[in-house]
Structures are given as C-alpha cells and as structure tokens.
Amino acid sequence: MPILFGYFAHLQMSTVAISHLSKSFSSGLFRKSNIQALSDVSITVSKGEIFGLLGPNGAGKTTLVKILLSVVHPTSGTATILGQPMGSTGIRERIGYLPENHRYPSFLTAHQTLLHFGRLQGLSKHFLSSKASELLRVVGLEEWSRVKIKKFSKGMLQRLGLAQALLNDPEVLFLDEPTDGVDPVGRKEIRDILKGLRSAGKTVFLNSHLLSEVEEISDRVAILNKGEVLSVGTIRDITSHALEYEIRLGIAPSEPVLQKIGALSRSLETNQLTLTLALHAKEDLNKILQILLQEGMSIESVMPRKSRLEDFFINLIRTRENP
C-alpha cells in the first residue's frame, strides 16, 4: 500500500503524467484497417526539466502531444498536466504549443504575427504590444520585428514559433520538432533559448527525431517506436544498458587470448593496450576479467564506455524488429 501511495503521489507531483495512453486510427476507405499509433504509453515529466520524446517518423510523437493538448482523443488511457486532467478548463492558458510544420500568413510582420495569435488566445492588445517585443528579444528577432515573415529563413520562423508558444507565459511548453529544417547554427540558437527557458523554471516537452539534438539538451528522454515506449530515463541511464566497456591492459594480449574474449563478446576492438568490447550480458564482464587474469595480463582499468544515444537507439530498434 505505501508503494502504491508513493506512485500516485509521484504522478500528482509530475508536471505531465501520462498513464496507459493508447490510440488507434481507422484507415482505408473500403477495407477498414486500424493503425495503432500509440500502445499503452506511460511517461512522467517533472517540473523544470527538458524532456525529449524521441522516435523515428511515424512513431506516434505528434499523436501523443496532440492527445495531451486535447486536439486528438485517446482510444484509452489518461493524462494529467499540472495536476489536472488533460483538457480541463484553465489548463490551456498555462501551456504553450509549437505545432509541427506550422505556417503563418507570410504578409504579416513578426510583431503582427504575435499580436494576431495573442488576440486569438484572448490576450489584451495592451498586454500584447509589450509582450511581443519582449519575446522577440528573447528569441533574437528584435531587429526583424517589423519585417514581413515571407523574408524569414526556416530558423527564424521556428524562433518566431517559439515566441508564439510563449505568449501566455506558459508553465509547460510542448514543442513538436522545433528544429526541423533548421541549419546547425540555428539549431544551436534554439537549444540555447530552450536552456534559458529551463533556467526560468519552465518545463519543456520536446518531440524530435534528431537524436544528437535531444542528447545535447534533454534531462531525460523516452524512446518511442511504432507507438511503444522502448526506454525512458536519463541519457546516461539508458545508454549504460549498452554494456560496452573499455579495458586497459599493462601488456598487449596475444591472439589466442583475444579469441577467447571475442567468443564471449558481441563485438571486440583492440587498439594496442586497450580493448573495447560490447557484451551480451553483464555477467560476461567477470568471466572476461577472469580469463585475462588467468592469462597473466595485468589490468590497469575497466571503464563502462559512454555509448552515444544514436548507437543505442539504432540497436534498440533493430533488436525489437529482429529479436
């Protein structure tokens, strides 16, 4: 019972708590078939963190965010945002949303765009005229505020989108592919803005298929594939399951020793006195160290190797598809 109580208390404290969400879409005109866009997704996001939802195209990232914003109805499951059921009145005013592939009327200036969207959200003209200038400064578009957005680059449009999502000074931001189509310099600028928002205490829920991007900025990530959450945690936590180690030896190992070790490993690379290996199971590390000691090798150090999220991601999805 105390464990259950702890679990519910944790859900209540979470800024976003998603519990067993599933969504199927029916497709096909004559022969109806179902697309399972989300299957039993449960994720929690804490206040003040940047949470990255990662997944390949079609994984269900946009569907999940649209459900949280009540644009799409789930087939089953629930979620709370800021402690209240999603879709509750009053929640909309406390969250910001940057949709995927957003388009703004190209004849408006950056400043006019913010006024237009702010008015649609019910914000007053008086409040908006100073808020729009402040936000254009935050996203680095101050000098472009009176320029028509048809002249804007993709990076500038995404920064304007961020400003639009911030108009109501939201506590939680949902950003769907905020750096899509943006060049590396523009991506870095957007990352810096997001870090600034985190420092200001905002919670950011970020959808992306750009792994390196998410790796750079997110406090925690979830990996979504074909509607299923394959892994959730800090980058360090989830990549530590990759079971990759670097062993430094005092003397170079002989070919027969390498063969014995290779037989126990998923992969083995040698570089003079350093062995880099990926294992099938954690227990195999001890077996390998025993072999090395029995063979008279002196072991200088054993270090878990920091695996890149991208390698981990590709392996995880491959293993799922060809178990």
Ligand X SMILES: Nc1ncnc2c1ncn2[C@@H]1O[C@H](COP(=O)(O)OP(=O)(O)OP(=O)(O)O)[C@@H](O)[C@H]1O
Among ligand X, Mg ion, none, the one that 216 touches (CB under a kind-dependent 5 to 8 A) is none
Check residue 143 and report its DSSP letter.
G
For residue 263, count CB atoms less than 10 angstroms from its CB and return exposed for 0-12, middle for 13-18, buried for 19 or more.
exposed
Among ligand X, Mg ion, none, the one that 273 touches (CB under a kind-dependent 5 to 8 A) is none
Q: Are 166 and 138 in contact (CB under 8 A)?
A: yes
**Chain residues in the site for ligand X (CB under 6 A):** 25, 27, 35, 37, 55, 57-63, 100, 209
Q: How far is the CB of 23 from ligand X (least distance, A)?
A: 8
78-117 positions binding Mg ion, by CB under 5 A:
100
Interstrand relation of 50-54 and 203-208 (parallel, antiparallel or unpaired): parallel
Interstrand relation of 299-304 and 265-271 (parallel, antiparallel or unpaired): unpaired
Of 14, 15, 44, 62, the residue at the interface with Mg ion (CB under 5 A) is 62
Among ligand X, Mg ion, none, the one that 223 touches (CB under a kind-dependent 5 to 8 A) is none
Q: How far is the CB of 25 from ligand X (least distance, A)?
A: 3
Q: Are 248 and 240 in contact (CB under 8 A)?
A: no
Check residue 21 and report its DSSP letter.
E
Beta-carbon-side half-sphere exposure of residue 293 (alpha carbons within 13 Å) = 7
Q: Are 159 and 193 in contact (CB under 8 A)?
A: yes
Minimal CB distance residue for Mg ion: 62
Task: Compute the residue count for the chain.
Answer: 323
Check residue 243 and report its DSSP letter.
-
Give the nearer residue to Mg ion in terms of CB position, either 21 or 249. Answer: 21
Give the nearer residue to ligand X in terms of CB position, either 72 or 278. Answer: 72
Give the nearer residue to Mg ion in terms of CB position, either 62 or 239. Answer: 62
Q: How far is the CB of 61 from ligand X (least distance, A)?
A: 3
Closest CA to 161 of 139, 134, 187, 192: 139
Give the nearer residue to Mg ion in terms of CB position, either 203 or 207. Answer: 207
Q: How far is the CB of 286 from Mg ion (least distance, A)?
A: 44
Give the nearer residue to ligand X in terms of CB position, either 57 or 130. Answer: 57
Among Mg ion, ligand X, none, the one that 55 touches (CB under a kind-dependent 5 to 8 A) is ligand X
Among Mg ion, ligand X, none, the one that 37 touches (CB under a kind-dependent 5 to 8 A) is ligand X
> How far does CA 135 lie from the centroid of its chain?
24
Give the nearer residue to Mg ion in terms of CB position, either 96 or 118. Answer: 96
Among ligand X, Mg ion, none, the one that 96 touches (CB under a kind-dependent 5 to 8 A) is none
The DSSP annotation for 149-186 comes to: GGG--HHHHHHHHHHHHTTT--SEEEEESTTTT--HHH
Among ligand X, Mg ion, none, the one that 63 touches (CB under a kind-dependent 5 to 8 A) is ligand X
Interface ranges with Mg ion (CB under 5 A)? 61-62, 100
